[in-house]
Amino acid sequence: MHNQQEVDKRRTFAIISHPDAGKTTITEKLLLFGGAIQQAGEVRARKSSRHATSDWMELEKQRGISVTSSVMKFTYSGCEINLLDTPGHNDFSEDTYRVLTAVDSVLMVIDSVKGVESQTKKLLEVCRLRRTPIMTFMNKLDREGQDPLDLLDDIEKNLHMQTAPVTWPVGMGKRFRGTYHLYTKELTFFDPDAANGTGQVLTATGLDDPLLDELLGSQVDELRHNVELLEGAAHPFDKDAYLAGQQTPVFFGSAINTFGVQQLLDAFVEYAPAPLPRETISRMVSPYEEPFSGFTFKIQANMDPAHRDRIAFFRICSGKFTRGMKVRHVRLGREVQIANATIFMAQDRTNVEEAWPGDIIGIHNHGTIKIGDTFTQGEELKFTGIPSFAPEHFRKVRLLNPMKSKALEKGLVQLAEEGATQVFKPLMGADWVIGAVGLLQFEVVMHRLEFEYGVKVAFEPVSYVTARWVLGEKKEIEEFEKKEVMHLYIDGEGKLTYMAGSQWRLDNTMENWKKLEFHETSEHS
Are the C-beta atoms of 87 and 62 separated by less than 8 Å? no
169 is in an annotated binding site: no
Local structure of residue 85 (DSSP, 8 states)? P
| Nearest distance in Å: CB 89, ligand GDP | 7
Cβ 269 to ligand GDP, closest distance in Å?
22
Query: Which of 47, 524 has the CB closer to ligand GDP?
Result: 47
C-alpha to C-alpha distance for 122 and 124, rounded to whole angstroms: 5
Name, in order, each residue with C-beta under 8 angstroms of 216's C-beta and a sequence gap of 6 or more: 170, 177, 223
236 Cβ contact list (under 8 Å, min separation 6): 164
**25 or 163: whose CB is closer to ligand GDP?**
25
Decide: 288 and 299 in contact? Cβ < 8 Å: no
Which is nearer to ligand GDP, 136 or 422 (by Cβ)? 136
Binding site for ligand GDP (CB under 6 A): 17, 19-25, 139-140, 142-143, 254-257
Q: How far is CA 473 from CA 244, 306, 342, 490, 513, in A?
A: 35, 44, 45, 17, 12
Residue type, 212: L
- As a whole number of angstroms, the distance between CA 31 and CA 191 comes to 22
φ, ψ for residue 261 (rounded to 5)?
-75, -40
Least distance in Å: CB of 514 to ligand GDP?
42
Smallest distance from ligand GDP to CB 137, Å? 10
**Chain center to CA of 293:** 21
What is the distance of C-alpha 468 from the center of its chain?
Answer: 22
Least CB distance from residue 53 to ligand GDP, whole Å?
18
Is 17 annotated as ligand-binding?
yes
**Closer CB to ligand GDP, 22 or 358, in the complex:** 22
Q: Is 245 annotated as a binding residue?
A: no
Smallest distance, Å, CB 252 to ligand GDP?
10
Nearest CB to ligand GDP, comparing residues 172 and 397: 172
Element (H, E) at 301: strand 293-301
SS3 string, 228-261, reads HHHHHHCCCCCHHHHHCCCEEEEEECEHHHCECH
- 140 labeled binding residue: yes
CB 272 within 8 A of CB 105: yes
Cα angle, residue 118 at apex, residues 117 and 124 outer, rounded to 5°: 95
Confirm if 223 and 170 have CB atoms less than 8 A apart.
Answer: yes
**Quick count: other Cβ atoms within 10 Å of Cβ 452?**
16
| Number of CB atoms found within 10 A of residue 392's CB | 15
Min CB(23)–ligand GDP separation in Å: 3
Amino acid at 322: T
Report in angstroms how near the CB of residue 81 gets to ligand GDP at its nearest: 19
25 vs 248, which CB is nearer to ligand GDP?
A: 25
**Cα dist. 451→295, 308, 459 in Å?**
30, 12, 16
CB-wise, 254 or 441, nearer to ligand GDP? 254
Kindly tell me which of 194 and 211 has the beta carbon lying closer to ligand GDP.
Answer: 194
Query: Least distance (Å) from ligand GDP to the CB of residue 28?
Result: 8
Residues in the chain: 525
Q: How far apart are CA 355 and CA 341, in angstroms?
A: 11
- Which residue's CB is nearer to ligand GDP, number 230 or number 256? 256
Q: What are phi and psi of 96, to 5 degrees?
A: -60, -45
Q: For ligand GDP, which is the closer residue by CB, 140 or 382?
A: 140
148 in a labelled binding site: no
- Cα–Cα dist 114/139, whole Å: 10
Min dist. Cβ of residue 24 to ligand GDP (A): 3
Question: Angle, to 10 degrees, between the axis of helix 405-417 and the axis of helix 440-453?
Answer: 130
Cα–Cα distance for residue pair 99/442, rounded to 1 Å? 20
Residue ranges for the binding site?
17-24, 85-89, 139-142
Binding-site annotation, residues for GTP: 17-24, 85-89, 139-142
